[in-house]
Amino acid sequence: MDAARRVFLQRAALVGAATGAPLLLATAGEATTLAKTRSGRVAGYRDQGVHVFKGIPYGADTAPRRFRPALQESAWRGVRDAVQPGASAPQNGSDGPGSEDCLFLNVCTPGLRDGGKRPILFYIHGGGYNNGSGSNPLYDGVRLCRRGDVVVVTVNHRLNAFGYLYLAELGGEDFRHSGNVGQLDLVQALRWVREHAQEFGGDAGNVTVFGQSGGGAKIATLMAMPAARGLFHRAWTMSGQQVTAAGPRAATQRTQLLLEALKIAPHEIDRLRAVSMEKILEAARTRDPSRIEDTSLYLGPVMDARSLHRHPFYPDAPPQSAGIPMIIGNTRDETRAFLGNDPDNFTLSWEQLPKKLQAQQYADILPEVVIDEYRRMYPDYTPSQVFFAATTAGRSWRGAVEEAEARARQGSPAWVYQLDWGSPLDGGKFGAFHALDIPLVFDNIAQPGSRAGSGAQAQRVADQMSRALLAFARQGDPNHAGLPRWRPYALEARETMVFDVTSRMENDPRGGERRLYQRAPFIQRGTL
């Protein structure tokens, strides 16, 4: 938005607030909409009848409190423009470089101050713990609001070194929460949502957190954090798990590597407060010796005995979240999203396969053993099909199985899904890749960045998945008339909803692959 339009919007909002009259943006023909937050009024816009507010601050600029829990945002006078997203967290990549003033959220709602008591859907973006933003067009909540009469919130929070660099062992009490401030930002955002639920027509007692990839991992971690207790009531995770967190020794070792890259001695750790954002991001590219596949440090949640007292899903599911209904999902061809970018991976020979598999399956099982098992289970598979299937089962899928089993042993409500429907784009070669379920769950197949295509099949799958999310948010159970009966997951049958053009229930899909990889213990990458 240009400066002239921004000034016009602010002035129009002020006039409207004073007169109580409906407001129109003459320059764009969009109705202006106003909401009141704890720190001041915000002016958004209407989209297909839905009130949309972007870039609302839920915390103060984190730069003055780098590596420490954020403070509440400062109050403002007048009306704040809320029609553009706020800055993303500091990061490399397409959402970067970002800013340390990054604690912003976006709200879509069908009604304001109307006592609607709508379910609130709080989405946590992916990108691991390193990248991403809650303002991606795929996360636009307007269609979910219109379809399900819900409130949708998306959020930015601190990432990578700014959100998860563990300094407690080297820097003392002032940095005691540093390894999890990115998670504490999410707690702060959820508290903001609880405080403002009535203003935005939502129910503070019915909040569903949902997220994909890193977003799902952050949710699993929140389920074990005492500070998050009571702030959400349902959890829907997509291809994102956090079974174990980094231990304090391993996290400190990574911090020392980053300090070495910056040429800062451990006793000079206070110098980190003044190092530029860009230099910290560059130092975080230091190779992590515990991860054969990455060239950068793992910086994620830390079991620090302060904010996180236990591993999220080890040795069992977190007791504090036993009563929270949970969805655990994955896509059948997860690794085609990242390993499919190398065209050579689609033309592998049997001779090339062992070396490729050794580097990419993560589980430490002899590749020849894995290949023999896959050829026995799927005799028609090509070497490339074995490669993509085995890397998916050996890395992306393992955490989902661990979490589902832990919930089943706990006797807690959990439903499991697998997305089998594959994107028709690029000749269909990427299949049901990692992140394909995002536009389907949001019912946003036509949004920029969607790789689901816009055909009738894509919309049919989106109808099924988005309705399941909405049913889950409203009643704590994903069943609806457009699906066969979706039964909760139990160890006896391992019931799984397989989403496809015609979805179906299966017991223990890919059971042979599950048993193969359970020969090796599962430890989340970054734990050691």
Q: Is residue 434 flagged as an active site residue?
A: yes
CA-CA distance, 4 to 6, in Å (whole number)? 5
Q: Judge whether 129 and 159 are in contact, CB under 8 Å.
A: yes
Q: Side chain identity at 167, as an amino acid letter?
A: L
Q: Which of 213, 321, 384, 423 is catalytic?
A: 213
CA-CA distance, 36 to 338, in Å (whole number)? 43
Eight-state DSSP code of residue 273: G
Q: Which of 373, 434, 495, 503 is catalytic?
A: 434
Q: Judge whether 324 and 235 are in contact, CB under 8 Å.
A: yes
Q: Which of 73, 169, 334, 405 is catalytic?
A: 334
Q: Is residue 450 flagged as an active site residue?
A: no
φ/ψ of residue 165, rounded to 5: -80, 120
CA-CA distance, 63 to 170, in Å (whole number)? 20
Q: Is residue 233 flagged as an active site residue?
A: no
User: For the chain, what percentages of helix, strand and coil (3-state, to nearest 5) are there?
Assistant: 35, 15, 45
Burial (0-12, 13-18, 19+ Cβ within 10 Å), 442: buried
- C-alpha dist (Å) from residue 17 to 21, 24, 25, 57: 8, 13, 14, 21
- C-alpha dist (Å) from residue 58 to 153, 191, 306: 12, 9, 23
Q: Judge whether 402 and 241 are in contact, CB under 8 Å.
A: yes
Q: Judge whether 453 and 445 are in contact, CB under 8 Å.
A: yes
List, by residue number, the catalytic residues.
213, 334, 434
